[in-house]
Structure formats: structure tokens, C-alpha cells
Amino acid sequence: MVQVLKPEEVTEKYGRLFCRGVFTLVDEKNGVAQVIEECSAKGPVEWDACNRKRAGGAITNITVEGNTIIMDTIIGEGELHFGPASKELGGQGLRSLVVDGDNVRTTWVGLAGASVGVGACMPQGPGTIATEYPDDVKIGGAHKVEVTVITPKLIRAIIAVDDTDTKEKGASWSMMLKVARECPIGTFLKHKIIQLNPNVPQKTTNCSSSGVSFALKESELPALLEYFKEAFRKNTYSQETTMAYYVGLRIPKELEDYGWNAKKVIYKPQQALDVAERTGVQVVEITGLRGTIGAVAAIGCFDLGVKAAGLPEDFES
């Protein structure tokens, strides 16, 4: 038998714990997903990251950013390996991630103290719909627990913009961050400033573009795009502003290469448009098309970490 508990029922049963949010993003075209879990402290995040990475299963990569753990996964099932030390260390891992209509079902296994994180903490976090437990579940101590957490199926949308300012007024990164923070649609995930080629003759000062990412339901995408289009029209100072957007968890290699090369090559708008067409980036003219170069490059660099903010020579050994 299985018992199904809503987040508030989990909280009532185990007491208020530390999860601040759970988001499950899927990219069905590429067969991958991403689980983002926010915590109120860094210690549990680092500990969970090490345990889940050690266990393998459906997780392919884990990164920690502040109090947030970001888990790249397959869509499907993977074998968990807790290892011979699990009796002394405990352990936890993601066995499977399955898309079920508009929801995602993630099945977690926890041993000993690690069972608290997946059996009591995550299930009460905002963003969780419900959790399925076995009838005889026991959490913590020397017990093993296997639970299935149900969350909404979300997608990742990256929105980028360039050429919004002049030499006298404006800053693309500042305007983008303000607009993103005020957005009432979806969940704002990341803001990136992308350094581009400083030798471009049309630059204002720093020659940078900007991008943001959101987690949202697919049905919310048209409203999100309309919100940003209108915001850019209202806030730009330039007659060459261009917006670009991309939906998915994997940046195509050609797009990433273009973004990195835009830090040292002087491209023309048509070259950026050609790359966008081949890689699934949608380009939206706001007041002009010169900003296509930087907007498309921002998407290409979005997952490069700190490299997005620098120039190639900054990372030469």
C-alpha cells in the first residue's frame, strides 16, 4: 500500500524542516532533466550533493551554488550504488525521473540520516505537489526509505537582449535584472552578464549583453515572452535592440562556440541570425537587429559559468 501526503501534511508529520523550493525542469527532446533544490543552509546542500553524486543513479552531474543544489539527470532510471561504506555513512540518491503528463515523478532512496532529506525535507518544500510513501515508512535512524516526489513539469527559457543603451544612457545588464526580478510569470533562476569583443566599433562602453533564465510551465511561455518584449520596448534607449530566446536544458555546441567566439570575433547581424536559425534560437526585433549579435551570443555563453563574464585571455594558463 502507498500513502500520499501533501507538503503541509508532511510538515505536520515531521515538523518544519529546511527546504525552500523544488523545481523540476525537463527537456524531453534531449532526454534530460534538471532538479533544483533550494535549502535554508549550505551544510545540507553540500552533504546531499556529495551523497547523491556518490550514489549515481539517474543523476549525471551535480553543482552547488550558494544554498542551492542543481542536479542534471536523465529522463529514465539509473542504478544506485551506495557502496560498502553506506552502513557507516548512510546515503541518498535519485533512482528515477519520469514525466507523467503535466507532472514529474522523481523516486528517491535514503539510508540512515540521509533519509531525512529525501523523506521529510524535500517533500514539504514549495513546488512539491505530493509525495508517495510506503505504509510502513520510518525516517532517520538506521532506516531505509524510498519515496516518490511529484512536482509540476517545468521548462527552462533563456531570454537575452543586446543593444539597449547609448553612450549617454542605460545599461543592458541593469535593465535586464530589474525586469526579470519584477516578472510575475514563472520562477526567475539566473541572470548573466556576457562580456563580448571590446574592439567592436559600435559598442557603447563595455560591450556586453545580458541574459536571464526562468523555470515555468510550457503554457506560460507566451505570456513570459510578451512581458519581456513589452518591457524592452519601454526601457530601451537604442534603435537597434534585439531580443533572443531559447527553450531547453542543453545549449547546442555550434551556439556555444558562436557565443565564445563573439568575445574575439567581430560578427555581422546576418551571421548571428544564421546561427540562431540552425540551433533553435528565436530572434525578436524590438527596435532593430544589430543587437542580434550579442543576444544570440548571450544564449551561447549562458551555461559557461564565470567564463561568460570574461574574455578568452582571462582563462589562459
Please report the pLDDT score of residue 111 as a whole number. Answer: 83
Q: Are residues 96 and 181 in the same domain?
A: no
Same domain membership, residue 220 and residue 98 = no
Question: Does the structure show a pLDDT above 90 at 286?
Answer: yes
Q: What is the pLDDT of residue 84?
A: 57
Indicate whether 179 and 286 sit together in one domain: yes
Out of 6-20, 141-155, 269-283, which region has the weakest mean confidence (pLDDT)? 141-155
Is the pLDDT confidence value at 66 over 60?
yes
Name the grid cell of 114.
540521509
Q: Kindly state the average pLDDT of the residues 25-32.
A: 97
Residues in the chain: 317
Q: What is the pLDDT of residue 207?
A: 83
* pLDDT for residue 252 is more than 90: yes
Torsional class of 210: left (φ above 0), alpha (ψ -120 to 50), beta (otherwise): beta
Indicate whether 91 and 177 sit together in one domain: no
How large a percentage of the chain has pLDDT more than 70? 92
Given a cut of 80, whether residue 96 has pLDDT beyond it is: yes
Q: Is the pLDDT assigned to residue 185 strictly greater than 90?
A: yes
The DSSP H or E segment spanning 117 is none
- Quick one: average pLDDT of 2-27? 95
Mean pLDDT of the 226-238 span: 95
For residue 132, what pLDDT is reported? 97
Element (H, E) at 154: none
Kindly report which listed range (61-70, 106-115, 129-138) carries the lowest average pLDDT score.
Answer: 106-115
Q: Are residues 169 and 133 in the same domain?
A: no
Pick from 134-143, 153-162, 181-190, 300-309: least confident: 134-143
What is the pLDDT at residue 137?
79
Q: Which three cell numbers stand for residue 206?
A: 563595455
End-of-domain residue from the set 119, 152, 185: 152
The residue-averaged pLDDT of 80-101 equals 79
Domain identity same for 101 and 187:
no
**Does the pLDDT of residue 87 top 90, yes or no?**
no
Name the domain boundary from 124, 152, 180.
152
Residues 304 and 199 in one domain: yes
Domain count for the chain? 2
Q: What is the pLDDT at residue 91? A: 80
pLDDT at 114: 67
Same domain, 148 and 6: yes
**Cα separation of 44 and 40, whole Å?**
9
Is the same domain home to 119 and 242? no
Q: Is 140 left (phi over 0), alpha (psi -120 to 50) or beta?
A: left
Span 7-32, average pLDDT: 96
Q: Are residues 161 and 129 in the same domain?
A: no
Among residues 152, 181, 215, which one ends one of the domains?
A: 152
CA distances from 295 to 66, 70, 205, 243 (A): 27, 25, 17, 6
Greater confidence (168 vs 69) lies with: 69
Domain that holds residue 265: 155-315
In angstroms, rounded to a whole number, what is the distance separating the alpha carbons of residues 270 and 56? 44
Q: What is the mean pLDDT of the chain?
A: 92
Same domain for 14 and 159, yes or no, is: no
Output the domain CATH number for residue 251: 3.30.70.2200
Co-location of 219 and 290 in the same domain: yes
Average pLDDT over residues 231-245: 95
